[in-house]
A and B are shown apart, each in its own frame.
Chain A
Amino acid sequence: MNIKVALAGNPNSGKTTLFNTLTGSNQYVGNWPGVTVEKKEGRLKGNKDVNIVDLPGIYSLSPYTLEEVVTRDFLINEKPDVIINLVDATNIERNLYLTTQLAELGIPMVIALNMIDLLRKSGDTINIEKLSKEIGCEIVEVSALRGTGVMEVANKAIKIAKSQKAMQPIHKFGAEVEFALSQISDFIKNREDIAPELIRWYTIKLFERDSKVLEKLQLSKNDLEKIEKIISDIEKKFDDDAESIITNERYEFIEKVVKIAVKKKSPGMTTSDKIDRIVTNRVLALPIFALVVFIIYFISVSTVGTLITDWTNNVFFGEWVMGGATALLQKIGAAEWLQSLIVDGIISGVGAVLGFVPQMFLLFFFLSLLEDCGYMARIAFIMDRIFRKFGLSGKSFIPLLISSGCGVPGVMATKTIENEKDRRLTTIVCTFIPCGAKIPVIGLIAASMLPEYAGFVAPAVYFIGIFAVIVSGIALKKTKLFAGDPSPFVMELPQYHLPAFKSVIAHMWERGSSFIKKAGTIIFVSSAAIWFLTNFGIANGSFGMVEGSDSFLGIIGGAIAPIFAPLGFGSWEATVSTFSGLVAKENVVATFGIFFGLGADIAESDPTLVNKVAELFPNVFAGISFLIFNMLCAPCFAAIGAIRREMASGKWTLIAVGYQTLLAYIFSLMIYQLGGLISGTLTFGAGSVLAIIALLFVLYMIFRPNPYVSAKKARS
């Protein structure tokens, strides 16, 4: 017999740890249909017939957040055989709130009372028998972290599932509310499409005027009016709305239960409290925050990270894999074009991307550490004030910071943002921050176009990147895609605790490997495509391997170069090198090297290259325009792959890449045209008109009133 177990509980209740312990490595990670909420499934260790679904961490079954709706739909429609409800024993009141809602779904349930070891250490006690009697379901004491009680919970869940004993909610609300509920249940209790054990749930949802349930039940107008009368009467009496009345009643019930079953030691300062007093203290918070950020950045981006990335790129892929493959291919006498496809196209393209993998693992390690110990929530707490101003949330800080090293892990770090709109917006703006691979491009253009001011170019480019993030945040928040009230920042600040090494490693591995799997295909295909377009073409009327302007990419570049003419770099060389930047941004330099016959391994500071590039652009503004376009436009394939992975939607990937390229075009247009106009190198013409229109458009998008602010908000 196949048994489907659903794992439900609050965020930070140790659900992931329990899931990992239950399933070991038999996991499959996907997405819930149609949404970006992650869905994890696995088979119970040692019992292949038991399938465990890890539901999103939620506080309630309200109809308002994506995670809650996904969970609700799953529990109601797919009817798992049993729910394991994870309850954090150290935070029992709020955790039992979800329990009271789960209990109403009529699904057999067992409670795993987690962190029991921490509870004992604190000196509090919970009487399991009493609690079990009040809630009406069995309870097992668990420490997911230490692995105690885990298998008992699984066995109990299997036993309950086999007995098929529907959960009978025994908790009762106040007399007046119960009376109203019994009146409402009369309208639905004889319906055949509602299982008897779900009557209570539907009744409560009707009382709360839950739009999704109202839609499903299709009650007659007459019935609806009568129900509405019952609800509005009690609302008047309580001077509150029906939804809030139910929430209040639940917490009142819980308070009663806690009084009966929980004994609290007098509340002293816990270690967590003491840590928190220091690390988010008004004076010390910022220096400590800066120090933590510096350490992570210094290790994973500047020092160790660069070291291992360079090693994987140059030694591992550059010498061992490419060298080995070349030797092997020559030995077996493969055709020259095939050698080139495999070595120069695929291995170097994929290698350019996979070279970042060790560094990503390092970064993910730190991120998991931050999340696991509870500091990540504090970073959001500290930074929220600033980021909210331009439509992002405090949690956007980490992805943006990491993007200054590499956009790929930066994009992937957006995973920690719960709100979907905030997450998507952060994903789109992440790669505006110049990453490490863009630095050679900055160096080349600075040396070619602005030799006297070369030192100022890099900071200026970073500034423009940050500016693009801010402008996008403000402007996009006013568009239909991202509009809406700011997501509530009513956020739990979990207790600090020592991170568990095993779960940090598991977390890191999951993120890193999912990048390789999901982004790998897009990188592989696009690298091969770019290689083909660069190396093949039609010369002297016949198809074959060619170089430069005869290649397909050269032809395409020449054809679309006029699009870039208003930006000041309408030459095929500049266009093609921009395209080659899609494989990896540092390729822009290498491609120029090839075009000018200097080879791909040229350094960006090489004087011949610098002079040749300087000749390519008519004036300094054209060079800056080229640089800014390359900094802001669609990122490299690896980052696009990461965006695809995080958005979990082809449409949103296109929106992101399209928006980035459009913004890059507008910025470059303004720089070249308006810069030229002001300095007198350009005369007023069609381009200037276009640039002025673009400028007005950008200003309008930033300063227009938000058309999607609800009327109510505007009044207050």
Chain B
Amino acid sequence: MQTLKESKIGSTVRVVKLKGDGPLKRRIMDMGITKGTRIYIRKVAPFGDPLEVTVRGYELSLRKSEAENIIVEQA
């Protein structure tokens, strides 16, 4: 099972499932990361965290610890 955290920079993935619950999960979904969404992993910050991804046509940053909750597959 691959998570967004482990996905390669520059690759595009598709969301399979979101782990966890409560505010963090809701926030991730509110921002448009839902089942089936395509995510392009754009870059990682200079100190190695957080990540910057493109989702639904805009740029989103999230920490690796948060990306760990997003299970993805290669798109």
Contact = CB atoms under 8 A, between A and B. Distances in A.
Interface stretch (A162-170, A489-497, A570-578, A638-646): A489-497
Interface in A53-96: 59-60, 62, 64-65, 90-94
Interface in B11-48: 18, 21-32, 34-35, 37, 43-48
B6 interface: no
Interface string A273-294: 0001000111001100000000
B61 A60 contact: no
A241 B22 CA distance: 10
A516 B59 CA distance: 37
A243 B60 CA distance: 22
A252 B56 CA distance: 12
B43 A280 contact: yes
B47 A382 contact: yes
Nearest to B28: A490
Contact of B45 (A65, A92, A243, A382): A382
Contact of A493 (B24, B28, B32, B59): B59
Contacts of B32: 93-94, 97, 251
Q: Which of B30, B58, B63 has the most CB of A within 10 A?
A: B30
A247 B37 CA distance: 13
Contacts of B66: 488-490
Interface in A153-210: none
A488 B60 contact: no
Contacts of A385: 45, 47-50
Contacts of A64: 22-23, 26-27
A330 interface: no
A244 interface: yes
B52 interface: yes
Contact of B58 (A94, A280, A381): A94
Nearest to A92: B57
Contacts of B75: none
A491 B43 contact: no
Contacts of A90: 57
A550 interface: no
A271 interface: no
A251 B58 contact: no
A354 B37 CA distance: 53
A492 B21 contact: no
B21 A247 contact: no
A689 interface: no
Interface in A363-381: 377, 381
Contacts of A495: 58-59
Contacts, number: 116
A377 to B, nearest CB: 8
A62 B43 CA distance: 29
A344 interface: no
B52 A489 contact: no
A149 to B, nearest CB: 22
B50 A59 contact: no
A60 B60 contact: no
A696 interface: no
A386 interface: yes
A256 to B, nearest CB: 13
A248 interface: yes
B50 A241 contact: no
A280 B47 CA distance: 11
A327 to B, nearest CB: 58
B30 A62 contact: yes
Contact of B29 (A248, A285, A493): A248
Given A244-B18, A244-B25, A247-B26, A489 B62 contact: yes
A495 B37 CA distance: 21
Contacts of A267: 57
B56 A94 contact: yes
Given A91-B57, A251-B32, A280-B52, A490 B45 contact: no
Contact of A93 (B18, B57, B59): B57
Contacts of B58: 91, 94, 492-493, 495
Nearest to A124: B57
Contacts of B60: 490-493
A489 B23 contact: no
Given A97-B32, A384-B45, A488 B59 contact: no
B30 A97 contact: yes
The 6 closest A-B pairs by CB, nearest first: A385-B47, A60-B30, A493-B59, A64-B23, A93-B56, A247-B29
Interface of A: 59-60, 62, 64-65, 90-94, 97, 240-241, 243-244, 247-248, 251-252, 267, 276, 280-282, 285-286, 377, 381-382, 384-386, 388, 485, 488-495
Interface of B: 18, 21-32, 34-35, 37, 43-50, 52, 56-63, 66
7 contacts: A91-B56, A240-B35, A281-B43, A282-B44, A490-B24, A490-B66, A491-B62
Given A252-B34, A382-B45, A495-B58, 18 more contacts: A91-B56, A92-B57, A94-B31, A248-B29, A251-B37, A280-B45, A280-B46, A285-B46, A286-B46, A381-B45, A485-B24, A488-B28, A489-B61, A489-B62, A490-B24, A490-B31, A490-B60, A491-B62
